[in-house]
Amino acid sequence: MYEVFGGVASRAFRVIWLLDEMGVEFTHHDLKPGSDEMRAVNPSGKVPALKVDGELITDSSAIMTFLADKHGQFTYPAGTIERAKQDAWFHQIIDEVDAVLWTAARHSFILPEEHRVPAVKDSLKWEFERNIGRIADRMEGPYLQGEEITIADFLLLHCLNWATGAKFEHSSAKMDEYAKRIRARDGFKAARGRLAA
């Protein structure tokens, strides 16, 4: 049995959604980042964390990769060209989308106020829109790599949802259609439903 630590309105959503899509049972602990309860699980206080067989895995990207490999779903086999392309997408999204949104969040409410530079957000919004446009141009089909959805798509959709909440906009109709298609999935709806629970 898996245990997932972290609130649904955080990067833990990626892990929860993936497990819901896989139809794998898990226990969810809705803990806030930096809370005493979360630090008791992960000394850094960061979310998400996954406990499996008494071992702790941290970082949403590491957890997603582990789960996809372990269950043979939403991933290509290691050592294949398709997997290399999937990994390239995954790392590009972390670098060019997630990191931009995270930097904006840090300068909005995470860093101590005296270390925030709110003016950086205009530059980050420009960078976000540019990067989303580049990703949309390279998409190979209904999903990033064509007909098969992978964990890279889960990551990108989570970032697109995050961007909406953060008021980061883009002008790609293709990306809007992509997001709408993925949000219609039953696994996404199940994970999203946990927000209201």
Over residues 80-104, the pLDDT tens digits come to 999 999 999 999 999 999 999 999 9
CATH assignment at residue 50: 3.40.30.10
Q: What secondary structure does DSSP assign to 114-180, as a single string?
A: GG--TTHHHHHHHHHHHHHHHHHHH--SSBTTBSS--HHHHHHHHHHHHHHHTT-----HHHHHHHH
Over residues 6-63, the pLDDT tens digits come to 999 999 999 999 999 999 999 999 999 999 999 999 999 999 999 999 999 999 999 9
**CA distance linking residue 158 with residue 107, whole number of Å:** 20
CATH assignment at residue 100: 1.20.1050.10
User: What does residue 184 show for φ and ψ, rounded to 5 degrees?
Assistant: -80, -10
Q: Where in the sequence is the domain holding 60, given as residue range(s)?
A: 2-73
Over residues 127-142, the pLDDT tens digits come to 999 999 999 999 999 9
Out of 18, 53, 73, pick the residue that ends a domain: 73
Q: How many domains does the chain contain in total?
A: 2
State the pTM of this model.
0.95
Confirm whether 196 is domain-assigned: no
Q: For position 82, what pLDDT does the model report?
A: 98
Q: Tokens representing 138?
A: 């390279």
User: How many angstroms separate the first and last alpha carbons of the chain?
Assistant: 21
**CA distance linking residue 101 with residue 62, whole number of Å:** 19
